[in-house]
């Protein structure tokens, strides 16, 4: 099986400030666990959370993981103007580099919101000094998706490298590798579908809450009450399933893997 890189979107997903703050402690537990299984990943961190928890960013960098930006504020690209995005990127990148004492080359748009409607954003991201983006979900999605975008890494006209979400399945039933899809799908089916994925750089996306079965239930933002319970299904099995998926040779952080991509086709949207 191809090497798979672990990526973690580090954000505060609570419904409000009165809910228990769990993600910093859970993320540190994930860091310890990744060390025991010999995996280094890419942590896409919201800048505002890095400001509140700079020691967590430092711990991520000290563990040999890549520190990357998930927006300074967790706002979809479609809700920002180019000027607002440029300011958001500048502040968020500076916060992460100060906290982690490391260079930040990668960006992931909140909710994979780099779509046909926000395709202008690649120029702003490139101009801000980022080397690559991991912001495109090349399929229709309940929130944001980019049907028709390539499934394999490509280069935007601005020079920015894009590493799209690893997709499983075919036709209308394709889903990204990660999150609720990873927790719900049988492990054997995930492995089988992954073998047929055309992605040349395969990665899985998860959040701290995916590893947190003890979190109290609440209605998730951007989800209806009926869909919210899905966010709690099979959290206890995530670690075992991830070990099985990664095998004995997990993929390196995304920022390291782009060095082996070679020439990339340009996609203009």
Please give the Cα distance from 198 to 201 (Å, whole number): 9
| Dihedral sign computed on CA atoms, order 96, 133, 241, 243 | negative
- Overall domain count for the chain: 1
Residue 269 lies in a domain: no
Q: Please state, in angstroms and as integers, the Cα–Cα distance from residue 229 to each residue in 15, 40, 220, following that order.
A: 14, 30, 9
Residue 265 lies in a domain: no
Read off the CATH number of the domain in which 12 is found.
3.20.20.370
pLDDT at 261 exceeding the cut of 80: yes
Residue 124 sits in which domain range? 4-260
* Per-residue tokens: 147: 């049907």
Residue 208 lies in a domain: yes
Residue 268 lies in a domain: no
Residue 188 lies in a domain: yes
Taking residues 239-248, what's their average pLDDT? 94
Angle at 8 between CA 25 and CA 65, to 5 degrees: 85
pTM of the entire predicted model:
0.97
Taking residues 54-69, what's their average pLDDT? 98
Average pLDDT for the chain: 95
Residue 267 lies in a domain: no
Residue 69 lies in a domain: yes
Predicted confidence at residue 171, as pLDDT, reads 85
| CA-closest candidate to residue 133, choices 260, 11, 258, 246 | 258
183-236 tens-digit pLDDT:
999 999 999 999 999 999 999 999 999 999 999 998 877 666 777 899 999 999
Predicted confidence at residue 143, as pLDDT, reads 86
Q: How confident is the model at residue 1 (pLDDT cuts 50, 70, 90)?
A: low
Beta sheet of 4-10, edge-to-edge order: 154-155, 161-162, 132-133, 106-107, 66-69, 42-45, 4-10, 202-206
Residue 18 lies in a domain: yes
* Per-residue tokens: 239: 């670690």
78-89 tens-digit pLDDT:
999 999 999 999
């Amino acid at each position: 099986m191809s090497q798979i890189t672990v990526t973690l979107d580090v954000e505060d997903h609570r419904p409000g400030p009165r809910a228990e703050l769990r993600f910093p402690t859970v993320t540190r537990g994930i860091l310890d666990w990744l060390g025991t299984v010999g995996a280094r990943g890419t942590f896409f961190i919201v800048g505002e959370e890095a400001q509140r928890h700079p020691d967590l960013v430092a711990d991520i960098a000290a563990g040999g993981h890549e520190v990357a930006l998930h927006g300074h504020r967790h706002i979809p690209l479609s809700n920002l103007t180019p000027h607002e995005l440029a300011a958001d990127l500048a502040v968020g990148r500076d916060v992460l580099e100060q906290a982690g004492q490391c260079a930040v080359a990668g960006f992931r748009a909140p909710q994979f919101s780099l779509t046909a409607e926000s395709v202008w954003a690649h120029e702003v991201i490139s101009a801000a000094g980022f080397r690559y983006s991991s912001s495109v979900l090349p399929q229709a999605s309940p929130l944001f998706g980019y049907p028709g975008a390539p499934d394999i890494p490509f280069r935007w006209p601005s020079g920015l490298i894009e590493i799209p979400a690893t997709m499983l399945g075919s036709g209308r039933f394709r889903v990204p590798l990660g999150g609720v899809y990873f927790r719900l799908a049988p492990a054997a089916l995930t492995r089988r579908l992954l073998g047929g994925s055309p992605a040349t750089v395969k990665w899985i996306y998860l959040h701290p809450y995916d590893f947190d079965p003890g979190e109290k239930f609440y209605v998730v933002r951007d989800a209806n009450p009926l869909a919210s319970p899905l966010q709690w299904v099979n959290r206890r099995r995530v670690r075992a399933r991830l070990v099985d998926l990664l095998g004995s040779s997990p993929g390196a952080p995304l920022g390291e893997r782009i060095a082996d991509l070679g020439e990339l086709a340009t996609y203009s949207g």
